[in-house]
Amino acid sequence: MSNILGSATGRVVLGENLSILHDLPDECVDLIYVDPPFNTGKRQALRRIKTVRDSEGDRTGFQGQRYRTIKVGNTSYLDVFDDYLAFLEPRLEEFKRVLRTTGSLYFHVDYREVHYCKVLLDAIFGRECYLNEVIWAYDYGARTTKKWPPKHDNILVYVKDAERYFFDMDAVERIPYMAPGLVGPEKAARGKSPTDTWWNTIVPSNGKERTGYPTQKPLGILRRIVQASSPPGGIVADFFAGSGTAGAACLELHRKFLMVDNQLEAAQVMARRFAGQLEIEYVGFTPGEGQQPDALVGDSSAPASWDDTVDGQGDSDGTRQQALFADR
């Protein structure tokens, strides 16, 4: 059985995911989670700010104190593809190839594209390998009055083999009953297993978990996925890794990980997030720099304050990808 990471705990790769997938051996990954661009047709942006006390400021804070907002920087990417399914199809085919027989794919998308993506996934994996549609519901942000406000994402779950896939509900953290008085004190204290509808807030703009990446997903969502669908010590991959939340969940839960993104900004965010962790390899870039020499481990300070704005992945030449995933 292939061990694509060798002795490393994790690997962060800056590069084009399809090229990197082509270099992976068959059946080498236990779990794939991906959160590809949603094809919203908009620029996804995150605005970095800081605030200073100012009696004439534009914000009101604790006990009525006034603060002035200072813009520090922006992070953004264009989320639009002329043919979204044609972009996804070769990657989905590679996902199926590199998954172990017991492996699963969690494909995270939104209401605009989920129906088309399910038809494509059915064709590649087979309808019999469709396991679930998980609904991640949240209650945050603006609310339209012209329709029911969309406040959920869709996560399609497929398995490589419908008879042999790994799934461990007992490993998943239990959640409180919504009406504990109806089930008795013993069951209420134990809690219940989650269903296919997950209520979880987005990452708060001032929370400790925040990395500053525009589409960062909550650690609680990825923790549940990794707990349920990967064995202890298994390998988890995310080929649109963004801020690396899947990797952070793996570090908590003693899994190995492969994080791939073609944006230098994302790679650097992951390097900051994993700084100080042992045995993590960085490939295609140097943490803290905009260059692409040999893999190094680096450190840098995470941004202190971020603020969401709703507005609306660059390629690597691939020259260092040839021998990244040989057994060692």
**pLDDT at 72 > cutoff 50:** no
Distances from the Cα of 2 to the Cα of 5, 29, 174, 179, angstroms: 9, 9, 33, 47
- Average pLDDT estimate for 190-201: 95
- Average pLDDT estimate for 55-73: 57
The whole-chain average pLDDT of the chain stands at: 80
Cβ(132)–Cβ(181) below 8 Å:
no
Q: What is the pLDDT of residue 298?
A: 29
Query: Residue 26's closest CA among 56, 57, 1, 61?
Result: 1
SS3 call for 47: strand
**pLDDT at 323 > cutoff 60:** no
Give the lowest-confidence range in 12-16, 98-102, 149-153, 204-208.
204-208
- % of residues, the chain, pLDDT over 90: 61
Q: Is residue 189 part of a domain?
A: yes
**pLDDT at 73 > cutoff 90:** no
**pLDDT at 301 > cutoff 90:** no
Q: Is residue 75 part of a domain?
A: yes
Give the count of domains, the chain.
1
**pLDDT at 266 > cutoff 70:** yes
| Sequence-separated (6 or more) residues with CB below 8 Å from residue 153 | 108, 109, 110, 135, 136
The CATH number of the domain holding residue 142 is 3.40.50.150
Give the lowest-confidence range in 23-27, 79-83, 104-108, 188-192.
79-83
Q: Is residue 320 part of a domain?
A: no
Band of pLDDT at residue 251, cut at 50, 70 and 90: very high
Q: What is the CA radius of gyration of the chain?
A: 21
Band of pLDDT at residue 314, cut at 50, 70 and 90: very low
Q: Is residue 315 part of a domain?
A: no
Band of pLDDT at residue 9, cut at 50, 70 and 90: very high
Band of pLDDT at residue 79, cut at 50, 70 and 90: very low
Q: Is residue 318 part of a domain?
A: no
**pLDDT at 315 > cutoff 60:** no
Band of pLDDT at residue 140, cut at 50, 70 and 90: confident
Interstrand relation of 256-261 and 10-14 (parallel, antiparallel or unpaired):
parallel
Q: What is the pLDDT of residue 211?
A: 76
**pLDDT at 227 > cutoff 90:** yes
* pTM reported for the whole predicted model: 0.77
Phi-psi region at 323: left, alpha or beta (left = phi > 0; alpha = psi -120 to 50):
alpha
**pLDDT at 189 > cutoff 60:** yes
Q: What is the pLDDT of residue 60?
A: 55
Q: Is residue 316 part of a domain?
A: no
- Average pLDDT estimate for 126-148: 92
Cβ(126)–Cβ(118) below 8 Å:
no
**pLDDT at 217 > cutoff 80:** yes
Q: Is residue 319 part of a domain?
A: no
- Average pLDDT estimate for 90-97: 97
Question: Domain range for residue 275?
Answer: 10-309
Residue 110: other Cβ atoms inside 10 A: 15
Give the Cα separation of 225 and 192 in Å (integer). 16
**pLDDT at 284 > cutoff 90:** yes
Band of pLDDT at residue 216, cut at 50, 70 and 90: confident
- Average pLDDT estimate for 163-173: 97
Q: Is residue 65 part of a domain?
A: yes
Give the Cα separation of 327 and 295 in Å (integer). 17
